[in-house]
Chains A and B, each alone.
Chain A
Amino acid sequence: MDSQAIDQILQKYDYGHSSIIAILQDLQEKENYLPEKDLDYVSERLSMPLTRIYRIATFYNAFSLTPRGKYLVNVCLGTACHVRGAARVLDRIKMYLGIDVGEMTKDKLFSLETVNCLGSCALGPIVVIGNEYHGQMTPAKVESTIKKYRKRSSRKKDEKD
């Protein structure tokens, strides 16, 4: 991200050290993850040691220091989803995408993450892909659900070409 855009975020929070979590959240919203050079810049502008920024960035689950795929596949592992078989859904997704939690597929299309609860327990097990909720997931539905996104992405690419 260019330094001007980062400064805009910093200004929004008055360059306040206590707002570092919010600053990183806004940064990540724009970049999908926290790039090293952006953190360097934040550190410099806030006169805040880089170690402290990294401490925050690694303490809180919401932050990612590595790039994430175009679609974030987020599997809810809340208790309600768990008793309805979320672990088996997650296993099937791992197997189908060939990646573990926290990793990105080689084509940079999908990243796999888990969340502790999305509070949509009536629909459990839930998988969120991008911003779309897929409720009552089963291992059998995994392949067809993810394929839709693959198709959508290649269609968009075709349109561009």
Chain B
Amino acid sequence: MRRINNPQELEKIREEILTRRDPNKPCITICSGTGCHAYGCEKVAEAFRAEIRKRGLEESMDIRTTGCHGFCERGPVVVINPEKIFYQRVTPEDAGEIISETLLKNSTIDRLLYTHPQTGEKIVREDDVPFYQGQMRVIFGNNGKIDPTKIEDYIAIGGYSALAKVLTEFSPEEVIDTIKRSALRGRGGGGFPAGVKWESCRNARGDKHYVICNADEGDPGAYMDRSLLEGNPHSVLEGMIIGAYAIGSDEGYIYVRNEYPLAVRNVGIAIDQLRDCGLLGENILGTGLDFEIKVNRGGGAFVCGESTALMASLEGQAGEPRAKHIHTVESGLWDKPTNLNNVETWANVPLIISRGVKWYTSIGTETSKGTKIFSLVGKVNNTGLVEVPMGITIREIVHDIGGGIPGNGELKAVQTGGPSGGCIPESLIDIPVDFDKLTEVGSMMGSGGMIVMDDRTCMVDIAKYFLNFLKDESCGKCTTCRDGTRRMYEIVDGITRGEGRAGDIELLEELSWVVSEASLCALGQTAPNPVLSTIRYFRDEYEAHIKDKRCPAGVCKALITYLIDQEKCTACGRCKRVCPSEAITGEKKVPHKIDPEKCIRCGACIAECKFDAIEVV
């Protein structure tokens, strides 16, 4: 694209793009988020392209590979515009039929439509799918409309108009005032008011100020930042440029996980495009603003999501946090005033500017405004990314949007906030989701992971899982965190192995207090949360492990035995074939048996049995 020298030229280019495009021209959009990639969406896109070429239809329809649509459970997802016909689990073989039937004859293909799980009704339009109906996709919804590698697509939906508005109509102070009045809180976990942070950074003394986008999304089970950066990198970049103008910065960094190759690639492409057309670099839009953004790939250390550790990593040091009595807004990266926000926070900024504070603050609760993107994963029917207004209940998210629990399982708990968060029991799922309510019940918002657990999930095992994670990821600087999390892991591990002793729970509580009080950064301070919240709500499960040497959920290997129900077993022999330890015996037509001595409780037989004949006791 040619260089854009001023805001008027940006508008002119937008008009040109829009007049070139016919909104009624059929367009096949194929989700190309990492989830759909794993399902093989590239082959689907290739099949569509080949089919269009073969039939010479290049002029009569467009094809667009877009960012993540969010409904990862049903990928690869294909949406036919302008009618927004929603096809799911599409294979390359379906491409020809979709073109002949839907694009050329206007009829839908029942087989590829989403079936309403309760009514059995076939749903045609994307917006009518229950998964999308309960959402408010003001940030994430654009992912499905644009090809993230094409800046024209972003400009076509109004991209960079917020930046132009800010640069022509707002003083930096007015931008900060707007963000403050919007009450935008940081989406990275802490929930600190973004406008206040910006103001402190702007006012901090120093010849150089930095802005940073934290895309080191380390919480396991959370991937909304990745999908935003992959699917709509320009929205994040626009937010950063606006932030740089407000704060008075000429240099920014994006610190992104190297495990997210597609995000690294797409944000790199987006930055190159911005430089080419003069929206990044010197004299942006002819307004005298200079700003440059560099991308740094993370080294795979969870602690680098912590702001001071991240800055140390950017400096080429080991990612160890430092004490925060000196705020990073005053002395951060290379000891200069630095403003760090998370991906989703930055993506909120253009939205607030374009649609106004009044609109923005009409969404959400008293203390938490706007929407939040959650990654709804685990034991839930509709796994995916959901964007909802703050204040929605967990019940609505899990049951209405998420479609409930698979199989005949029952909801037991929802884990939010990653390793720093906690487990919220089923009895509390009617609380409104916002920053403060989640903290009140012993969890936290975190970056937005929401892991659903059913009655086959052992809560002691979950505590062990997070402790194992934290002891590995502790940077080792503070003794309490380094050794405390290790000691806590050993105790919980002992409990799951049937070696729990009376007093273990109390010891865990005591250690929790020490670790949280005496550690320097949030990783250590919040490390005991998964243990404390599971003890708080599921103490009986701990006691069953300790006193009765029993795992009620049937997960902890040392405390369970596999049995074959002699009534249900049809002696088909499948379990016998997959058993890696030759523990299953039985002749033809005689129900099989498992030798508990040889059984390693790997679960291979359970997955293989078609008759539900294997019991865990």
Seen from chain A, the residues whose Cβ lies within 8 Å of a Cβ on chain B are 16-22, 25, 55-56, 59-63, 77-80, 82-85, 88, 91-92, 95-96, 115-124, 126, 133, 135, 138-141, 143
Contacts and interface: CB of A to CB of B under 8 A. Distances in A.
B316 A17 contact: yes
Contacts of B315: 18
A126 B314 contact: no
Interface stretch (B5-13, B49-57, B114-122, B603-611): B603-611
Contacts of B259: 115, 117-119
Interface residues of B, number: 62
A94 B73 CA distance: 28
Given A79-B449, A123-B35, 8 more contacts: A60-B299, A61-B299, A78-B220, A83-B379, A120-B34, A122-B75, A135-B39, A140-B604
A92 B300 contact: no
Interface of B: 34-35, 37-39, 72-73, 75, 217-223, 226-227, 258-260, 296-302, 313-319, 375, 377-379, 383-384, 415, 418, 449, 451-453, 457, 462, 465, 469, 473, 475, 578, 580, 600-605, 607-608
Contacts of B607: 138-141
Nearest to A17: B316
Contacts of B317: 56
A59 B453 contact: no
A18 B378 contact: no
A142 B457 CA distance: 22
B420 to A, nearest CB: 12
B602 A79 contact: no
Which among A25, A59, A88, A91 has the greatest number of chain B C-beta atoms within 10 A?
A59
9 contacts: A21-B296, A21-B313, A119-B222, A119-B226, A122-B383, A124-B377, A135-B38, A139-B607, A140-B578
Contacts of A84: 378-379
- Count chain A CB atoms within 10 A of each CB in B217, B260, B603 and give the residue with the most: B603
B276 to A, nearest CB: 21
B301 A18 contact: no
Given A80-B377, A140-B608, A122 B35 contact: yes
B580 A96 contact: yes
Contacts of A55: 318
A55 B301 CA distance: 13
A25 B35 contact: no
Contact of B299 (A63, A118, A126, A141): A63
A96 B469 CA distance: 24
Contacts of B449: 79
